[in-house]
């Protein structure tokens, strides 16, 4: 057992709604706060002096400078397991080619597949672990990581096993997702539907047996899979007992409604979503995950985060860290920039980086500083929580718990 404190402010994120807009004055702020922790659980949160008085024998882990305490962030959408660079795609886009044109010409995702296939498990493990450790340093303690650069039996399993090995060797909470339905790989003989059936019949049973993942994602887009074939696939994936999530409405609107129809945990991207998809998401339990890193990486408009919140959606913000569209991988910077362009309150951003992102991963005890939640915490050297987004990602936590 120990008491942490005292903090100038503890931003608990208690009492905030799971869906819809949030004003900053709804935030619960405990000034001169302390937290009592035992056995990987938060027991009590309150005034620091009062806690020390109430538990005189408990060790105090003293904070010596003015600090703000936040729950650690949850990055609910990443492609952190990959090899190689796509700096050539970056240069080609800036010279006028689009993401979809580069993909059609055989670059894009396919080039990362080739590099990831050529990478040994050992090297892929080291690359992924280093990136995860960097995330943890930046206050991100829960990280979803997708496969999707293997796209054959050997290499999809290689990626998912590497992710499991990283999970076993870090104190981050790692959640893996099978994204074998990223694109149909070159060399696969058959249609898109044949490829999706191959995933269903050959790959997913092995993933189940080895307990490599309980989640499945698909990229619904012109360069990847269409709505009709995705629908058949996701229905069968659900029958196998997997949770589902969708790369939806990135360039073409329409797939977010399929995600909702099928009860997906989340619909992610949404840059191209129209009023119709916004409405459908807002009236559902599917989390709308926006990925400002992909907009910044590709020079595309941001997803309509403000409209989604005003319509009543549960909005989460994730990094989409990947070598193609979002190579920066700095979630706090991306969220702060999104806030300025989409006019999001700090409360909405913090909710989107914590308990609302947990919902996208179906986790219910991470992302608030309240009793019975996990004590995944981060400490910033400032005395006003608004400093954090104001510095647009430059102010990083000086300590994580
Ligand atoms: O979320 N859009 C599809 N998948 C990734 C990009 C992957 C890549 O370009 O390598 C994304 O942006
Ligand atoms: Fe993605």
Pull the structure tokens for residue 177. Answer: 């997702």
Residues that place a CB less than 5 A from ion ligand 2: 320
| pLDDT tens, residue by residue, 120-145 | 999 999 999 999 999 999 999 999 99
Is residue 366 pLDDT above 90, yes or no? yes
Could you tell me which residues are beta bridge partners of residue 217?
245
Ligand nearest to the Cα of 144, by number: 2
Q: How far is the CA of 293 from the centre of ligand 1 (A)?
A: 11
Instruction: Please answer whether residues 121 and 114 qualify as being in contact, where contact means their C-beta atoms are separated by less than 8 angstroms.
Output: no
109 CB within 6 A, ligand 1: yes
Rounded Cα distance, 247 and 267, in Å: 6
* Range of lowest pLDDT (90-104, 146-160, 168-182, 358-372): 90-104
Same domain, 196 and 49: no
Query: Does 354 lie in the same domain as 297?
Result: yes
> Tell me, what's the pLDDT at 390?
98
Which of 77, 78, 79 to probe ligand 1 with, by most ligand atoms within 8 A of CB?
79
Give me the mean pLDDT over the 74-101 stretch.
Answer: 96
Q: What mean pLDDT do residues 197-223 have?
A: 97
CB 34 within 8 A of CB 4: yes
CB atoms within 10 A of CB 147: 31
Are 154 and 232 part of one and the same domain?
A: yes
Domain shared by 79 and 123, yes or no: yes
Pocket test for ligand 1, best of 98, 145, 178, 182 (most atoms within 8 A of CB): 182
Cα 104 to Cα 101: distance, rounded to the nearest angstrom: 5
* Predicted model pTM: 0.98
- Whether 247 lines ligand 1, by a CB cut-off of 6 Å, is yes
CATH for 352: 3.20.20.140
Residues 241-255 have a mean pLDDT of: 98
Strand partners, 75: 143
Q: What are phi and psi of 143, to 5 degrees?
A: -135, 120
Residue 107 pLDDT > 90: no
Q: SS3 for 391?
A: coil
pLDDT > 90? residue 39: no
Q: Are 82 and 149 in contact (CB under 8 A)?
A: yes
Q: Could you give the number of structural domains in the chain?
A: 2
Whether residue 105 has pLDDT greater than 90: no
pLDDT at 59 (0 to 100):
97
CB 338 less than 6 A from any atom of ligand 1: no
> Is a pLDDT exceeding 90 seen at residue 104?
no
**Which pLDDT belongs to residue 3?**
98
Q: Is the pLDDT of residue 150 over 90?
A: yes
CA of 337 to the centre of ligand 2 (A): 19
The packing angle between helices 153-168 and 121-137, to 10°, is 40
Ligand 1 atom with minimal separation from the 179 CA: 4
Q: What are the tokens at 358?
A: 């947990």
Q: Which residues form the domain of 229? A: 73-360
């Amino acid at each position: 057992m120990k008491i942490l404190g005292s903090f100038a402010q503890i931003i608990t994120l208690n009492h905030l709604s799971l869906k819809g807009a949030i004003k900053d004055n709804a935030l619960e702020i405990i000034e001169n706060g302390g937290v009592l922790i035992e056995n990987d659980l938060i027991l009590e949160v309150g005034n620091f002096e009062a806690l020390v008085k109430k538990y005189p024998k408990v060790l105090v882990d003293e904070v010596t400078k003015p600090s703000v305490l936040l729950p650690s962030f949850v990055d609910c959408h990443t492609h952190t397991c990959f090899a190689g660079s796509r700096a050539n795609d970056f240069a080609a886009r800036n010279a006028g080619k689009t993401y979809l044109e580069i993909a059609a010409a055989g670059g894009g995702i396919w080039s990362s597949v080739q590099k990831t296939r050529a990478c040994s498990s050992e090297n892929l493990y080291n690359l992924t672990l280093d990136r995860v450790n960097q995330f943890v340093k930046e206050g991100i303690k829960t990280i979803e990581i997708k496969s999707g650069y293997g796209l054959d039996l050997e290499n999809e399993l290689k990626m998912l096993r590497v992710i499991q090995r990283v999970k076993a060797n870090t104190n981050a909470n790692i959640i893996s997702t099978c994204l074998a339905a990223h694109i149909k790989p070159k060399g696969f003989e058959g249609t898109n539907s044949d490829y999706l059936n191959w995933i269903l019949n050959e790959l997913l049973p092995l993933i189940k047996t080895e307990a490599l993942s309980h989640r499945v994602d698909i990229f619904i887009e012109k360069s990847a899979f269409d709505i009709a074939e995705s629908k058949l696939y996701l229905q069968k994936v659900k029958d196998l007992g997997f949770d589902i999530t969708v790369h939806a409405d990135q360039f073409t609107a329409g797939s977010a409604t399929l995600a909702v129809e099928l009860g997906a945990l989340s619909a992610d991207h949404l840059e191209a979503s129209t009023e119709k998809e916004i409405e459908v998401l807002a009236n559902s339990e599917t989390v709308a995950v926006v990925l400002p890193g992909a907009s910044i990486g590709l020079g595309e408009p941001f997803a309509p985060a403000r409209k989604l919140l005003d319509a009543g959606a549960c909005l989460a913000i994730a990094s989409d860290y990947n070598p193609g569209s979002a190579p920066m991988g700095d979630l706090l910077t991306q969220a702060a920039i999104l806030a300025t362009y989409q006019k999001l309150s700090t409360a909405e951003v913090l909710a989107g980086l914590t308990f609302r992102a947990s919902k996208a991963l179906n986790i219910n005890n991470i992302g608030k500083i309240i009793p019975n939640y996990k004590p995944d915490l981060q400490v910033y050297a400032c005395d006003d929580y608004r400093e954090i987004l104001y510095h647009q990602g430059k102010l990083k936590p000086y300590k994580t718990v």
